[in-house]
Amino acid sequence: MVDVLFYVFAAVALGGGLGVVLARSPVGSLLFMLATLFSVAGIFVLLEAHFLAAIQVMVYAGAIMVLFLFVIMLLNLGHDFRKDFTFGAGMVAAFVVAGVMAGFLARQFRGSGDHPLYAFFPGPEGMDALLAEQGAVGAIAHPLFTDYVVAFELTGILLLMALVGAIAIAKQRV
């Protein structure tokens, strides 16, 4: 059952990813991206990572993609985007990024190299005990707000800086 669901979600995620690239209209691309994000959330649920799945849908599908929708529908009406995708520097960059990603994936599949985060993974039984004790949210919140609290706060400040910077840049154009 879980296997079947995994293949369904994986197929939808891959199909959605292809759709993002191949769709004619930007809104179509966005909806395909939504399908991909949703399927990845489904795979998270199959992995018992409920919190991650909820956050994936809430933040990416529910908030960020809505902003994309705003930008596509309101700021870019009538703009012919196709000339942005001609061969050139962008295409070269795309191939470089794809190559780097493939390299990362190959490293993961070969199993070589150390996985720093695996040191903290308590194993399936330990995971079940952790979930029963702290709940799905607590299991993520405890390390986030104890061991990694400095990194967490710094990330928050970084995002705030990006936000302030974006507003400062946008203000000049008005």
12 touches another protein (CB under 8 A) = no
Phi-psi label, residue 25: left if phi above 0, alpha if psi -120 to 50, beta otherwise: beta
Contact segment (CB under 8 A) with another protein among 70-78, 79-87, 143-151, 166-174 equals 70-78
Name the minimum Å distance from CB 20 to another protein: 16
Contact segment (CB under 8 A) with another protein among 52-60, 96-104, 121-129, 160-168 equals 52-60
In our burial notation (b when 16+ CB lie closer than 10 A, e otherwise), range 111-132 reads: eeeeeeeeeeeeeeeeeeeeee
62 touches another protein (CB under 8 A) = yes
Cβ–Cβ under 8 Å, residues 36 and 20:
yes
* Residue with tokens 């203000």, as numbered in its chain: 171
Q: Which residues bind another protein (CB under 8 A)?
A: 27, 31, 34, 50-51, 53-55, 57-58, 61-63, 66-67, 69-70, 73-74, 131-132, 135-138
